[in-house]
Amino acid sequence: MNVRIVNVVVFVTFLVISKDLEISLSSVVSVGDFNKDFFVTWAPNHINTTADGRERSLILDKDSGAAFASNEMFLFGEIDMQIKLVPGHSAGNVVAFYLSSDQPNRDEIDFEFLGNVTGQPWILQTNIFADGFDNREERIYLWFDPTKDFHTYSILWNLHQILFMVDWVPIRVYLNHADKGIAFPRWQPMSLKVSLWNGDSWATRGGKDKIDWSKGPFIASFRDYKIDACIWRGNPRFCRADSETNWWNKARFSTLSGPQSRLFKWVRKYHLIYDYCQDNARFQNNMPKECSLPKY
């Protein structure tokens, strides 16, 4: 086995143990019944859910994609979802797992999985909207085949940072630099949304590779989600408080730990394929202000 992969396994084992200790101190909002915690927002005939509500699949074909959203809205917390992506030829497919406020000046925290032709890897794109503005895309290749089995994708969102994780490995950090005039999602509650849809106008090689409908239907599966977050009840002060319930706001979650930092650097070195902060041509050498500030 590759030495780098062995090191990753060791670090991830440590992080999972730490995670278990952390969860024991928190109040879990929900741990996994799709029928109770979500409602269908698009094409119920393209959604299959097991009788116990523990696993759900979305279907994309010529007629439609599908989507569902959480019953509750949240302001800060952690969301985990196990996902298995569409196998085989998936060009033009987009699987989205994200938080969104649905306001004109919306905040949004996105995982977007971009399909590819057979033999080429899925691309994981992350993006952040703050006060209605986005253009903060990053893209990576995963270090495993996300179509073979379920993997855990997580968003930790607190007053200090937004942390994207894959199997507890940090892949992206977006720090709160609001004190420097940089927008950060911190006031608008967001709901959790999941969708599978036709994005072949842009998703694969900039739209050059279209969906091959003869390879469908395309199916993405979801299970074992965990929502550990502050439910929005109209008072932001409750969600912004530092308490045992709101464990995510504590100082130790304001930055990466030592093991997390090493894993984060590993992802950036070996798996990052696009970072908006390195795209001078796109921004005509007028880079977003956060690009000159620390990333973690």
Active-site residue set? 108, 112
Q: Decide: 145 and 112 in contact? Cβ < 8 Å.
A: no
Of 174, 143, 98, give the one whose Cα is nearest residue 1.
Answer: 143
Token pair belonging to 183: 């927008």
Q: Give the whole-angstrom CA distance, residue 176 versus residue 173.
A: 10
